[in-house]
Structure 1
Amino acid sequence: MVQKVAVVTGSNKGLGFAIVKGLCQRFDGIVYLTARDKTRGLEAVKKLNEIGLRPEFHILEVTDRESISEFADFIKKRHGGFDVLVNNAAMLEWDAVYPSYDVAKRTIDVNYRSVLTIEELLYPLLRDGARVVNVSSNCGHLSNLRNQKWIETLKSVDLTTDKLNGFVDDYLQSVRNGTFRKEDFADEGKHAEHRVAKIGVTALTFIQQRKYYKRNISINAVYPGHIKTDMAQGGGQIDADEAAKVVLYLILEASPNLKGTFMWHDRKLVDWLDAEDKDGVHYCKGLW
Protein backbone atom coordinates (compact mmCIF):
# COMPACT_ATOMS: atom_id res chain seq x y z
CA MET A 1 0.00 0.00 0.00
CA VAL A 2 1.34 3.45 -0.96
CA GLN A 3 2.07 5.58 2.07
CA LYS A 4 0.41 8.99 2.14
CA VAL A 5 2.58 12.11 2.21
CA ALA A 6 1.86 15.66 3.43
CA VAL A 7 3.93 18.80 2.83
CA VAL A 8 3.68 22.13 4.68
CA THR A 9 5.69 25.10 3.41
CA GLY A 10 7.21 27.65 5.77
CA SER A 11 6.62 25.41 8.75
CA ASN A 12 9.51 25.88 11.16
CA LYS A 13 7.43 28.26 13.31
CA GLY A 14 4.01 29.83 13.82
CA LEU A 15 1.00 28.50 11.97
CA GLY A 16 3.02 26.17 9.74
CA PHE A 17 4.65 24.54 12.77
CA ALA A 18 1.24 24.08 14.41
CA ILE A 19 -0.15 22.49 11.22
CA VAL A 20 2.77 20.05 11.08
CA LYS A 21 2.23 19.19 14.73
CA GLY A 22 -1.47 18.54 14.15
CA LEU A 23 -0.76 16.42 11.09
CA CYS A 24 1.84 14.36 12.95
CA GLN A 25 -0.80 13.64 15.58
CA ARG A 26 -3.63 12.77 13.19
CA PHE A 27 -2.47 12.16 9.61
CA ASP A 28 -1.82 8.56 8.63
CA GLY A 29 1.36 9.09 6.69
CA ILE A 30 4.63 11.00 6.42
CA VAL A 31 4.62 14.73 7.18
CA TYR A 32 7.29 17.02 5.76
CA LEU A 33 8.21 20.12 7.73
CA THR A 34 9.91 22.46 5.26
CA ALA A 35 11.83 25.67 5.76
CA ARG A 36 14.32 27.78 3.84
CA ASP A 37 16.85 27.61 6.70
CA LYS A 38 18.19 24.15 7.53
CA THR A 39 19.23 24.99 11.10
CA ARG A 40 15.84 26.45 12.02
CA GLY A 41 14.05 23.62 10.30
CA LEU A 42 15.97 20.95 12.19
CA GLU A 43 15.43 22.85 15.46
CA ALA A 44 11.68 22.76 14.77
CA VAL A 45 11.85 19.02 14.09
CA LYS A 46 13.73 18.53 17.37
CA LYS A 47 10.97 20.34 19.29
CA LEU A 48 8.40 17.99 17.84
CA ASN A 49 10.62 14.97 18.50
CA GLU A 50 10.69 16.00 22.17
CA ILE A 51 6.92 15.52 22.39
CA GLY A 52 7.01 12.20 20.57
CA LEU A 53 6.24 13.39 17.03
CA ARG A 54 8.32 12.40 14.02
CA PRO A 55 8.06 14.75 11.04
CA GLU A 56 10.60 14.57 8.23
CA PHE A 57 12.54 17.71 7.25
CA HIS A 58 13.44 19.03 3.84
CA ILE A 59 14.83 22.42 2.95
CA LEU A 60 12.54 24.45 0.70
CA GLU A 61 13.02 28.09 -0.33
CA VAL A 62 9.73 28.95 -2.00
CA THR A 63 11.15 31.89 -3.96
CA ASP A 64 13.94 29.76 -5.42
CA ARG A 65 12.83 27.78 -8.47
CA GLU A 66 15.81 25.43 -8.18
CA SER A 67 14.97 24.67 -4.54
CA ILE A 68 11.37 23.81 -5.44
CA SER A 69 12.56 21.70 -8.37
CA GLU A 70 14.99 19.78 -6.14
CA PHE A 71 12.24 19.13 -3.63
CA ALA A 72 9.89 17.95 -6.39
CA ASP A 73 12.57 15.54 -7.64
CA PHE A 74 13.03 14.25 -4.10
CA ILE A 75 9.30 13.65 -3.60
CA LYS A 76 8.99 11.94 -6.98
CA LYS A 77 11.95 9.62 -6.43
CA ARG A 78 11.18 8.75 -2.82
CA HIS A 79 7.38 8.64 -2.85
CA GLY A 80 6.17 8.86 -6.43
CA GLY A 81 3.75 11.61 -5.46
CA PHE A 82 2.03 13.18 -2.46
CA ASP A 83 -1.43 13.75 -1.01
CA VAL A 84 -1.53 16.96 1.03
CA LEU A 85 -0.03 20.39 0.40
CA VAL A 86 -0.37 23.45 2.61
CA ASN A 87 0.93 26.62 0.96
CA ASN A 88 1.70 28.54 4.13
CA ALA A 89 5.03 30.34 3.55
CA ALA A 90 4.60 34.11 3.87
CA MET A 91 6.33 37.30 4.96
CA LEU A 92 5.42 40.86 5.90
CA GLU A 93 7.64 43.87 6.59
CA TRP A 94 5.61 45.69 9.23
CA ASP A 95 7.51 48.97 9.17
CA ALA A 96 6.88 49.45 5.45
CA VAL A 97 3.25 50.58 5.62
CA TYR A 98 3.63 52.12 2.15
CA PRO A 99 6.48 49.99 0.85
CA SER A 100 9.15 50.70 -1.70
CA TYR A 101 9.06 48.75 -4.94
CA ASP A 102 11.73 46.33 -3.69
CA VAL A 103 9.79 45.55 -0.50
CA ALA A 104 6.49 45.22 -2.37
CA LYS A 105 8.04 42.89 -4.94
CA ARG A 106 9.74 40.78 -2.29
CA THR A 107 6.47 40.37 -0.38
CA ILE A 108 4.55 39.39 -3.52
CA ASP A 109 7.30 37.00 -4.61
CA VAL A 110 7.07 35.13 -1.30
CA ASN A 111 3.34 35.35 -0.65
CA TYR A 112 1.96 34.93 -4.16
CA ARG A 113 4.39 34.16 -6.96
CA SER A 114 5.93 31.27 -5.04
CA VAL A 115 2.56 29.51 -5.24
CA LEU A 116 2.68 29.80 -9.04
CA THR A 117 6.06 28.06 -9.16
CA ILE A 118 4.90 25.44 -6.67
CA GLU A 119 1.86 24.80 -8.87
CA GLU A 120 4.08 24.34 -11.91
CA LEU A 121 6.60 22.00 -10.29
CA LEU A 122 4.80 20.24 -7.44
CA TYR A 123 1.14 20.01 -8.45
CA PRO A 124 1.86 17.41 -11.17
CA LEU A 125 2.93 15.11 -8.31
CA LEU A 126 -0.37 15.45 -6.43
CA ARG A 127 -2.19 12.13 -6.34
CA ASP A 128 -5.85 11.80 -7.23
CA GLY A 129 -7.93 12.78 -4.22
CA ALA A 130 -5.21 15.10 -2.88
CA ARG A 131 -6.04 18.15 -0.79
CA VAL A 132 -4.41 21.56 -1.11
CA VAL A 133 -4.92 24.43 1.33
CA ASN A 134 -3.73 27.92 0.39
CA VAL A 135 -3.32 30.02 3.52
CA SER A 136 -4.76 33.43 2.77
CA SER A 137 -5.92 36.26 5.05
CA ASN A 138 -8.84 38.58 5.60
CA CYS A 139 -6.63 40.86 3.51
CA GLY A 140 -7.25 38.35 0.73
CA HIS A 141 -10.95 39.19 0.44
CA LEU A 142 -12.05 41.16 -2.62
CA SER A 143 -13.50 43.91 -0.41
CA ASN A 144 -9.94 45.10 0.24
CA LEU A 145 -10.05 46.69 -3.23
CA ARG A 146 -11.72 49.93 -4.27
CA ASN A 147 -10.47 50.09 -7.87
CA GLN A 148 -13.51 49.06 -9.93
CA LYS A 149 -11.44 48.01 -12.95
CA TRP A 150 -9.51 45.56 -10.83
CA ILE A 151 -12.65 44.33 -9.09
CA GLU A 152 -14.44 43.62 -12.36
CA THR A 153 -11.40 41.79 -13.72
CA LEU A 154 -11.10 39.59 -10.65
CA LYS A 155 -14.84 38.86 -10.47
CA SER A 156 -14.86 37.48 -14.01
CA VAL A 157 -16.03 33.88 -14.28
CA ASP A 158 -13.27 33.25 -16.81
CA LEU A 159 -10.47 34.77 -14.73
CA THR A 160 -7.14 33.29 -15.79
CA THR A 161 -3.73 33.24 -14.18
CA ASP A 162 -2.50 35.68 -16.84
CA LYS A 163 -5.24 38.18 -15.98
CA LEU A 164 -4.57 37.74 -12.27
CA ASN A 165 -0.87 38.36 -12.85
CA GLY A 166 -1.86 41.48 -14.77
CA PHE A 167 -3.61 42.83 -11.67
CA VAL A 168 -0.54 42.09 -9.54
CA ASP A 169 1.78 43.67 -12.09
CA ASP A 170 -0.44 46.78 -12.34
CA TYR A 171 -0.04 47.33 -8.62
CA LEU A 172 3.73 46.79 -8.66
CA GLN A 173 4.14 49.11 -11.64
CA SER A 174 2.22 51.83 -9.79
CA VAL A 175 4.64 51.55 -6.86
CA ARG A 176 7.63 51.57 -9.17
CA ASN A 177 6.60 54.63 -11.19
CA GLY A 178 5.08 56.63 -8.30
CA THR A 179 1.44 56.43 -9.42
CA PHE A 180 0.24 54.28 -6.49
CA ARG A 181 -3.17 55.47 -5.26
CA LYS A 182 -4.23 54.87 -1.66
CA GLU A 183 -7.86 55.18 -2.71
CA ASP A 184 -7.56 52.00 -4.80
CA PHE A 185 -7.60 50.02 -1.53
CA ALA A 186 -9.44 49.80 1.77
CA ASP A 187 -7.89 51.32 4.91
CA GLU A 188 -6.07 54.07 2.98
CA GLY A 189 -3.99 51.51 1.13
CA LYS A 190 -1.93 50.47 4.15
CA HIS A 191 0.18 47.42 3.33
CA ALA A 192 -1.34 47.22 -0.13
CA GLU A 193 1.42 44.78 -1.09
CA HIS A 194 0.08 42.27 1.44
CA ARG A 195 -3.51 42.78 0.26
CA VAL A 196 -2.53 42.31 -3.39
CA ALA A 197 -0.54 39.15 -2.59
CA LYS A 198 -3.29 37.56 -0.51
CA ILE A 199 -6.05 38.55 -2.96
CA GLY A 200 -3.85 36.85 -5.55
CA VAL A 201 -3.60 33.68 -3.44
CA THR A 202 -7.37 33.53 -2.91
CA ALA A 203 -8.21 34.17 -6.57
CA LEU A 204 -5.56 31.67 -7.67
CA THR A 205 -7.27 29.05 -5.51
CA PHE A 206 -10.41 29.30 -7.64
CA ILE A 207 -8.42 29.19 -10.87
CA GLN A 208 -6.44 26.15 -9.71
CA GLN A 209 -9.58 24.32 -8.65
CA ARG A 210 -11.05 24.69 -12.13
CA LYS A 211 -7.83 23.31 -13.63
CA TYR A 212 -7.59 20.27 -11.37
CA TYR A 213 -11.25 19.48 -10.86
CA LYS A 214 -11.22 16.40 -13.11
CA ARG A 215 -8.41 14.90 -11.04
CA ASN A 216 -10.61 15.04 -7.93
CA ILE A 217 -8.16 17.32 -6.14
CA SER A 218 -9.69 19.64 -3.53
CA ILE A 219 -8.12 23.11 -3.42
CA ASN A 220 -9.38 25.64 -0.88
CA ALA A 221 -8.24 28.96 0.59
CA VAL A 222 -8.53 29.79 4.26
CA TYR A 223 -8.23 32.74 6.61
CA PRO A 224 -7.12 31.05 9.86
CA GLY A 225 -7.72 34.09 12.08
CA HIS A 226 -5.61 36.79 13.72
CA ILE A 227 -2.80 34.64 15.05
CA LYS A 228 -0.31 35.39 17.81
CA THR A 229 2.80 35.24 15.64
CA ASP A 230 5.62 37.56 14.64
CA MET A 231 3.51 38.58 11.62
CA ALA A 232 0.79 39.92 13.94
CA GLN A 233 2.23 43.14 15.26
CA GLY A 234 0.40 44.29 18.36
CA GLY A 235 -0.62 40.75 19.27
CA GLY A 236 -2.99 38.29 17.68
CA GLN A 237 -6.25 37.02 19.09
CA ILE A 238 -5.68 33.26 18.89
CA ASP A 239 -2.67 31.00 19.21
CA ALA A 240 -1.26 29.05 16.30
CA ASP A 241 -2.56 25.68 17.52
CA GLU A 242 -6.10 27.05 17.58
CA ALA A 243 -5.70 28.65 14.13
CA ALA A 244 -4.35 25.41 12.71
CA LYS A 245 -7.64 23.65 13.47
CA VAL A 246 -9.44 25.07 10.44
CA VAL A 247 -6.57 24.02 8.14
CA LEU A 248 -6.55 20.54 9.66
CA TYR A 249 -10.31 20.39 9.19
CA LEU A 250 -9.93 21.06 5.46
CA ILE A 251 -7.24 18.39 5.19
CA LEU A 252 -8.63 15.66 7.42
CA GLU A 253 -12.36 16.12 7.94
CA ALA A 254 -14.05 18.21 5.26
CA SER A 255 -16.02 16.54 2.49
CA PRO A 256 -13.93 15.87 -0.64
CA ASN A 257 -16.69 17.71 -2.48
CA LEU A 258 -15.66 20.95 -0.76
CA LYS A 259 -13.67 22.50 -3.58
CA GLY A 260 -12.64 26.02 -4.59
CA THR A 261 -13.93 27.79 -1.48
CA PHE A 262 -12.71 30.56 0.81
CA MET A 263 -13.18 29.42 4.41
CA TRP A 264 -13.06 31.71 7.43
CA HIS A 265 -11.43 30.73 10.73
CA ASP A 266 -14.86 29.73 12.12
CA ARG A 267 -15.38 27.31 9.19
CA LYS A 268 -17.94 29.57 7.54
CA LEU A 269 -17.69 29.82 3.77
CA VAL A 270 -17.21 33.42 2.67
CA ASP A 271 -18.57 35.02 -0.49
CA TRP A 272 -15.30 36.26 -1.97
CA LEU A 273 -17.16 38.13 -4.73
CA ASP A 274 -18.87 40.44 -2.21
CA ALA A 275 -16.59 43.38 -2.96
CA GLU A 276 -18.94 45.81 -1.20
CA ASP A 277 -18.83 44.10 2.23
CA LYS A 278 -20.67 47.12 3.65
CA ASP A 279 -20.31 45.95 7.24
CA GLY A 280 -16.53 45.70 6.85
CA VAL A 281 -16.56 42.15 8.15
CA HIS A 282 -14.10 40.72 5.67
CA TYR A 283 -11.59 43.36 4.69
CA CYS A 284 -8.68 43.86 7.03
CA LYS A 285 -8.62 47.04 9.05
CA GLY A 286 -5.22 47.95 10.42
CA LEU A 287 -4.03 45.01 8.31
CA TRP A 288 -6.04 42.49 10.29
Structure 2
Amino acid sequence: MAEKVAVVTGASKGFGFAIVKGLCQRFQGVVYLTARNEKNGLEAVKKLNDLGLKPQFHQLDVSDEKSVQTFADYIKNKYGGLDALVNNAAILEWDEVYPSYEAAKRNIDINYKSLLTLEKYVYPLLRDGARVVNISSACGHLSNLKKQSWIRMLQDPDLTTEQINQFVDEYLESVKNGTFNKNDFADEGKHAEHRVSKIALTALTMVQQRKYENRNISINAVHPGHMKTEMAQGGGEVEPDQSAELVLYLILDASPKLRGTFMWHNRSLIDWCDAESDFACKDLW
Protein backbone atom coordinates (compact mmCIF):
# COMPACT_ATOMS: atom_id res chain seq x y z
CA MET A 1 0.00 0.00 0.00
CA ALA A 2 1.25 3.49 -0.88
CA GLU A 3 2.49 5.60 2.01
CA LYS A 4 -0.08 8.14 3.17
CA VAL A 5 0.83 11.79 2.70
CA ALA A 6 -0.48 14.97 4.37
CA VAL A 7 0.43 18.51 3.27
CA VAL A 8 -0.03 21.81 5.10
CA THR A 9 0.56 25.12 3.30
CA GLY A 10 1.87 28.23 5.05
CA ALA A 11 3.14 26.14 7.95
CA SER A 12 6.38 27.71 9.20
CA LYS A 13 4.68 29.43 12.15
CA GLY A 14 1.42 30.04 13.97
CA PHE A 15 -1.63 28.02 13.01
CA GLY A 16 -0.02 26.07 10.17
CA PHE A 17 2.86 25.06 12.43
CA ALA A 18 0.37 23.86 15.08
CA ILE A 19 -1.50 21.78 12.48
CA VAL A 20 1.72 20.12 11.32
CA LYS A 21 2.65 19.37 14.92
CA GLY A 22 -0.71 17.74 15.54
CA LEU A 23 -0.55 15.72 12.34
CA CYS A 24 2.96 14.49 13.16
CA GLN A 25 1.59 13.21 16.46
CA ARG A 26 -1.46 11.45 15.02
CA PHE A 27 -1.37 11.01 11.23
CA GLN A 28 -0.26 7.56 10.08
CA GLY A 29 2.01 8.66 7.27
CA VAL A 30 4.41 11.37 6.16
CA VAL A 31 3.58 15.00 6.91
CA TYR A 32 4.87 17.87 4.75
CA LEU A 33 5.43 21.29 6.27
CA THR A 34 5.51 23.73 3.38
CA ALA A 35 6.41 27.41 3.39
CA ARG A 36 7.26 30.16 0.93
CA ASN A 37 10.51 30.96 2.72
CA GLU A 38 12.86 27.96 2.81
CA LYS A 39 14.92 29.27 5.76
CA ASN A 40 11.81 29.76 7.91
CA GLY A 41 10.46 26.38 6.88
CA LEU A 42 13.64 24.53 7.80
CA GLU A 43 13.80 26.35 11.15
CA ALA A 44 10.22 25.24 11.84
CA VAL A 45 11.12 21.65 11.01
CA LYS A 46 14.05 21.83 13.43
CA LYS A 47 11.73 23.04 16.21
CA LEU A 48 9.51 20.03 15.62
CA ASN A 49 12.53 17.72 15.44
CA ASP A 50 13.51 19.01 18.88
CA LEU A 51 10.10 17.79 20.08
CA GLY A 52 10.78 14.34 18.65
CA LEU A 53 8.58 14.89 15.58
CA LYS A 54 9.68 14.20 12.01
CA PRO A 55 7.91 16.31 9.39
CA GLN A 56 9.32 16.67 5.88
CA PHE A 57 9.86 20.08 4.31
CA HIS A 58 9.30 21.36 0.80
CA GLN A 59 9.36 24.95 -0.39
CA LEU A 60 5.97 26.07 -1.69
CA ASP A 61 4.86 29.57 -2.65
CA VAL A 62 1.13 29.14 -3.30
CA SER A 63 0.98 32.42 -5.23
CA ASP A 64 3.65 31.24 -7.70
CA GLU A 65 2.29 28.82 -10.31
CA LYS A 66 5.73 27.42 -11.09
CA SER A 67 6.37 26.70 -7.40
CA VAL A 68 3.03 24.89 -7.09
CA GLN A 69 3.74 22.86 -10.24
CA THR A 70 7.21 21.91 -8.98
CA PHE A 71 5.77 20.76 -5.65
CA ALA A 72 3.01 18.76 -7.34
CA ASP A 73 5.55 17.03 -9.60
CA TYR A 74 7.65 16.16 -6.55
CA ILE A 75 4.71 14.60 -4.68
CA LYS A 76 3.55 12.73 -7.78
CA ASN A 77 6.98 11.29 -8.52
CA LYS A 78 7.80 10.36 -4.92
CA TYR A 79 4.44 9.15 -3.62
CA GLY A 80 1.99 9.01 -6.51
CA GLY A 81 -0.62 11.02 -4.62
CA LEU A 82 -1.69 12.52 -1.31
CA ASP A 83 -4.37 11.88 1.31
CA ALA A 84 -4.76 15.12 3.25
CA LEU A 85 -4.35 18.78 2.29
CA VAL A 86 -4.74 21.81 4.55
CA ASN A 87 -4.89 25.09 2.64
CA ASN A 88 -3.71 27.46 5.35
CA ALA A 89 -1.39 29.93 3.59
CA ALA A 90 -2.85 33.44 3.92
CA ILE A 91 -2.04 37.08 4.58
CA LEU A 92 -3.75 40.08 6.16
CA GLU A 93 -2.04 43.47 6.00
CA TRP A 94 -3.38 45.27 9.05
CA ASP A 95 -2.04 48.72 8.23
CA GLU A 96 -4.46 49.27 5.33
CA VAL A 97 -8.03 49.18 6.64
CA TYR A 98 -9.22 50.37 3.23
CA PRO A 99 -6.46 49.00 1.04
CA SER A 100 -5.01 50.18 -2.22
CA TYR A 101 -5.77 48.13 -5.32
CA GLU A 102 -2.30 46.55 -5.14
CA ALA A 103 -2.78 45.48 -1.50
CA ALA A 104 -6.30 44.18 -2.16
CA LYS A 105 -5.10 42.18 -5.16
CA ARG A 106 -2.18 40.78 -3.15
CA ASN A 107 -4.53 39.53 -0.44
CA ILE A 108 -6.92 37.91 -2.92
CA ASP A 109 -4.12 36.37 -4.99
CA ILE A 110 -2.69 34.59 -1.94
CA ASN A 111 -5.84 33.86 0.06
CA TYR A 112 -8.15 32.84 -2.79
CA LYS A 113 -6.64 32.60 -6.25
CA SER A 114 -3.83 30.37 -4.99
CA LEU A 115 -6.49 27.72 -4.36
CA LEU A 116 -7.30 27.72 -8.06
CA THR A 117 -3.63 27.05 -8.82
CA LEU A 118 -3.52 24.30 -6.22
CA GLU A 119 -6.68 22.80 -7.69
CA LYS A 120 -5.04 22.75 -11.12
CA TYR A 121 -1.84 20.99 -10.08
CA VAL A 122 -2.31 19.36 -6.66
CA TYR A 123 -5.95 18.25 -6.59
CA PRO A 124 -5.44 15.70 -9.41
CA LEU A 125 -3.09 13.94 -6.94
CA LEU A 126 -5.78 13.56 -4.25
CA ARG A 127 -6.40 9.88 -3.67
CA ASP A 128 -9.91 8.48 -3.34
CA GLY A 129 -11.10 9.21 0.19
CA ALA A 130 -8.73 12.16 0.64
CA ARG A 131 -9.63 15.04 2.93
CA VAL A 132 -9.12 18.75 2.26
CA VAL A 133 -9.58 21.57 4.77
CA ASN A 134 -9.68 25.18 3.59
CA ILE A 135 -8.89 27.64 6.38
CA SER A 136 -11.48 30.41 6.30
CA SER A 137 -12.50 32.81 9.09
CA ALA A 138 -15.47 34.78 10.38
CA CYS A 139 -14.69 37.03 7.41
CA GLY A 140 -15.60 34.12 5.16
CA HIS A 141 -19.29 33.97 6.08
CA LEU A 142 -21.80 35.38 3.58
CA SER A 143 -23.21 37.74 6.23
CA ASN A 144 -20.10 39.88 5.65
CA LEU A 145 -21.77 41.01 2.41
CA LYS A 146 -24.61 43.52 2.10
CA LYS A 147 -24.75 43.95 -1.68
CA GLN A 148 -27.77 41.94 -2.77
CA SER A 149 -26.61 41.07 -6.29
CA TRP A 150 -23.46 39.46 -4.87
CA ILE A 151 -25.41 37.63 -2.19
CA ARG A 152 -27.93 36.22 -4.68
CA MET A 153 -25.18 35.07 -7.02
CA LEU A 154 -23.18 33.34 -4.26
CA GLN A 155 -26.30 31.67 -2.85
CA ASP A 156 -26.89 29.88 -6.16
CA PRO A 157 -26.88 26.11 -5.41
CA ASP A 158 -25.22 25.62 -8.80
CA LEU A 159 -22.57 28.26 -8.12
CA THR A 160 -19.51 28.04 -10.36
CA THR A 161 -15.89 29.06 -10.00
CA GLU A 162 -16.48 31.57 -12.79
CA GLN A 163 -19.19 33.29 -10.73
CA ILE A 164 -16.92 33.46 -7.69
CA ASN A 165 -14.23 35.00 -9.88
CA GLN A 166 -16.78 37.52 -11.15
CA PHE A 167 -17.58 38.55 -7.57
CA VAL A 168 -13.89 38.93 -6.74
CA ASP A 169 -13.12 40.86 -9.92
CA GLU A 170 -16.06 43.24 -9.41
CA TYR A 171 -14.75 44.09 -5.95
CA LEU A 172 -11.19 44.62 -7.21
CA GLU A 173 -12.45 46.79 -10.07
CA SER A 174 -14.37 48.96 -7.59
CA VAL A 175 -11.17 49.55 -5.61
CA LYS A 176 -9.23 50.26 -8.77
CA ASN A 177 -11.68 52.79 -10.24
CA GLY A 178 -12.70 54.47 -6.97
CA THR A 179 -16.30 53.18 -6.80
CA PHE A 180 -15.77 50.98 -3.71
CA ASN A 181 -18.79 51.29 -1.41
CA LYS A 182 -18.37 50.62 2.31
CA ASN A 183 -22.07 49.83 2.53
CA ASP A 184 -21.62 46.73 0.36
CA PHE A 185 -20.01 45.07 3.39
CA ALA A 186 -20.51 44.55 7.12
CA ASP A 187 -18.60 46.68 9.64
CA GLU A 188 -18.26 49.70 7.32
CA GLY A 189 -16.26 47.65 4.84
CA LYS A 190 -13.15 47.46 7.01
CA HIS A 191 -10.65 45.12 5.35
CA ALA A 192 -13.14 44.31 2.62
CA GLU A 193 -10.30 42.67 0.68
CA HIS A 194 -9.94 40.03 3.40
CA ARG A 195 -13.68 39.48 3.58
CA VAL A 196 -13.82 39.02 -0.19
CA SER A 197 -10.90 36.58 -0.25
CA LYS A 198 -12.28 34.45 2.57
CA ILE A 199 -15.87 34.50 1.23
CA ALA A 200 -14.48 33.39 -2.14
CA LEU A 201 -12.44 30.63 -0.47
CA THR A 202 -15.48 29.35 1.43
CA ALA A 203 -17.69 29.47 -1.66
CA LEU A 204 -15.02 27.62 -3.64
CA THR A 205 -15.08 24.90 -0.98
CA MET A 206 -18.70 24.12 -1.91
CA VAL A 207 -17.95 24.21 -5.64
CA GLN A 208 -14.92 21.94 -5.28
CA GLN A 209 -16.89 19.46 -3.19
CA ARG A 210 -19.42 18.99 -5.99
CA LYS A 211 -16.60 18.38 -8.47
CA TYR A 212 -14.96 15.66 -6.37
CA GLU A 213 -18.08 14.11 -4.85
CA ASN A 214 -17.84 10.90 -6.88
CA ARG A 215 -14.33 10.15 -5.55
CA ASN A 216 -15.32 10.08 -1.89
CA ILE A 217 -13.19 13.17 -1.23
CA SER A 218 -14.25 15.42 1.66
CA ILE A 219 -13.63 19.17 1.30
CA ASN A 220 -14.62 21.48 4.16
CA ALA A 221 -13.98 25.06 5.25
CA VAL A 222 -13.40 26.13 8.85
CA HIS A 223 -13.37 29.27 10.95
CA PRO A 224 -10.72 28.32 13.52
CA GLY A 225 -11.44 31.15 15.94
CA HIS A 226 -9.55 34.31 16.89
CA MET A 227 -6.10 32.92 17.56
CA LYS A 228 -2.97 34.26 19.23
CA THR A 229 -0.90 34.52 16.05
CA GLU A 230 0.97 37.24 14.17
CA MET A 231 -2.07 37.70 11.93
CA ALA A 232 -4.28 38.54 14.92
CA GLN A 233 -4.03 42.26 15.56
CA GLY A 234 -3.84 42.93 19.28
CA GLY A 235 -3.64 39.24 20.11
CA GLY A 236 -6.26 36.55 19.79
CA GLU A 237 -8.18 34.57 22.36
CA VAL A 238 -7.27 30.98 21.45
CA GLU A 239 -3.94 29.18 21.27
CA PRO A 240 -3.10 27.81 17.79
CA ASP A 241 -2.70 24.28 19.20
CA GLN A 242 -6.28 24.44 20.45
CA SER A 243 -7.64 25.63 17.10
CA ALA A 244 -5.58 23.00 15.29
CA GLU A 245 -7.72 20.34 16.98
CA LEU A 246 -10.60 21.41 14.74
CA VAL A 247 -8.56 20.71 11.61
CA LEU A 248 -7.24 17.43 13.00
CA TYR A 249 -10.83 16.40 13.68
CA LEU A 250 -11.81 17.00 10.05
CA ILE A 251 -8.72 15.25 8.70
CA LEU A 252 -8.63 12.27 11.05
CA ASP A 253 -11.89 11.76 12.93
CA ALA A 254 -14.93 13.24 11.18
CA SER A 255 -17.32 11.11 9.18
CA PRO A 256 -16.38 10.99 5.48
CA LYS A 257 -19.98 12.08 4.86
CA LEU A 258 -19.13 15.50 6.32
CA ARG A 259 -18.52 17.37 3.07
CA GLY A 260 -18.85 20.85 1.66
CA THR A 261 -19.55 22.41 5.05
CA PHE A 262 -18.55 25.58 6.86
CA MET A 263 -17.56 24.61 10.39
CA TRP A 264 -17.35 27.16 13.19
CA HIS A 265 -14.55 27.04 15.77
CA ASN A 266 -16.85 25.24 18.24
CA ARG A 267 -17.45 22.46 15.66
CA SER A 268 -20.99 23.60 14.92
CA LEU A 269 -22.01 23.59 11.25
CA ILE A 270 -23.04 27.06 10.10
CA ASP A 271 -25.49 27.84 7.31
CA TRP A 272 -23.07 29.69 5.08
CA CYS A 273 -25.82 30.98 2.78
CA ASP A 274 -27.72 32.77 5.55
CA ALA A 275 -26.65 36.33 4.77
CA GLU A 276 -29.08 37.73 7.35
CA SER A 277 -27.39 35.93 10.27
CA ASP A 278 -24.95 37.48 12.71
CA PHE A 279 -21.74 35.64 11.88
CA ALA A 280 -19.94 38.53 10.17
CA CYS A 281 -16.53 39.52 11.47
CA LYS A 282 -16.70 42.71 13.53
CA ASP A 283 -14.07 45.24 14.57
CA LEU A 284 -11.59 44.01 11.98
CA TRP A 285 -9.18 46.92 12.05
TM range (shorter): over 0.9
Q: What is the match of residue 128 of structure 1?
A: 128
Q: What is the match of residue 157 of structure 2?
A: 157
Q: What is the match of residue 225 of structure 2?
A: 225
Give the match's secondary structure for 1:198: helix
Q: What is the match of residue 25 of structure 1?
A: 25
Displacement after TM superposition at 1:158 (Å) = 1.1
CA distance in 2, matches of 1:161, 1:233: 31
Q: Aligned letter for 1:62?
A: V
Q: What is the match of residue 189 of structure 1?
A: 189
1:177-216 equivalences under 5 Å are 177-216=177-216
Q: What is the match of residue 119 of structure 2?
A: 119
Given candidates 265, 268, 284, the residue that maps to 2:281 is 284
Question: Normalising by structure 1, what TM-score?
Answer: 0.98
* Percent identity over paired residues: 68
Q: Aligned letter for 1:284?
A: C
Find out whether 1:4 has 2:4 as its counterpart: yes
Can you list the C-alpha shifts for 1:221-256, whole angstroms capped at 9, x where unaligned? 000000000110011000100010100000000000
CA distance in 1, matches of 2:238, 2:158: 36
Displacement after TM superposition at 1:119 (Å) = 0.6
Q: What is the match of residue 103 of structure 2?
A: 103
Q: What is the match of residue 91 of structure 1?
A: 91
CA distance in 1, matches of 2:7, 2:51: 20
Q: What is the match of residue 43 of structure 1?
A: 43
Give the match's secondary structure for 2:128: strand
Q: Aligned letter for 1:283?
A: A
CA distance in 1, matches of 2:15, 2:239: 9
Find runs of 4+ consecutive structure 1 residues off by over 4 angstroms. none
CA distance in 1, matches of 2:13, 2:145: 30
Question: Normalising by structure 2, what TM-score?
Answer: 0.99
Displacement after TM superposition at 1:194 (Å) = 0.1
CA distance in 2, matches of 1:265, 1:252: 17
Over the residues paired in the alignment, what is the CA RMSD in angstroms?
0.7
Q: What is the match of residue 167 of structure 2?
A: 167
Can you list the C-alpha shifts for 1:110-138, whole angstroms capped at 9, x where unaligned? 00000110011100000000000000000
CA distance in 1, matches of 2:163, 2:233: 32
Displacement after TM superposition at 1:287 (Å) = 2.2
Find out whether 1:240 has 2:240 as its counterpart: yes
